[in-house]
Amino acid sequence: MRWQIYIIECRDGSLYTGITIDLEKRLAAHNAGKGAKYTTSRRPVQLVYREGAANRSDASKRENAIKKLNRNDKLALCAKQDSMQHIQTAK
C-alpha cells in the first residue's frame, strides 16, 4: 500500500489537499460529490499535484505541511512537478 498526497483544483479555482491509497477512486469520489464536503459544491475537480509517501503517518504530516502553504506556494509546488514531468517525458 503506497499513500498519495494530492492537490486538486476545483471548478471555482480553489485548491484542496488530501491523502489516499487509491487516487483514481478518490478523484472519482470527489467528482461524484462523495469525496469531501468542501469539494461537493465545487465539482468537477482535476488533479494538479501528487506525491507518494511510505505510510499514512508520513502522508498526513506532508498533507498538513502543504495545507499550511499559501496559494502561491501550492501553485509553485504544482508547477515544479509539472515541469519535472515534462523533462522526464522529453528524455
Distance CA 10, CA 40 (A): 10
Could you give all domains of the chain from N- to C-terminal order, each with its CATH number? Answer: 3-90 (3.40.1440)
Reported as a single tens digit per residue, the pLDDT across 33-89 is 998 999 999 999 999 999 999 999 999 999 999 999 999 999 999 998 876 654 444
More confident of the two residues 28 and 88: 28
Across the range 16-25, mean pLDDT stands at: 97
CA dihedral 81→78→53→36, nearest 10 degrees, is -150
Distance CA 6, CA 19 (A): 6
Q: What is the pTM of this model?
A: 0.88
Whether residue 44 is preceded by a cis peptide bond, meaning omega within 30 degrees of 0, is yes
Grid coordinates representing 33? Answer: 460529490
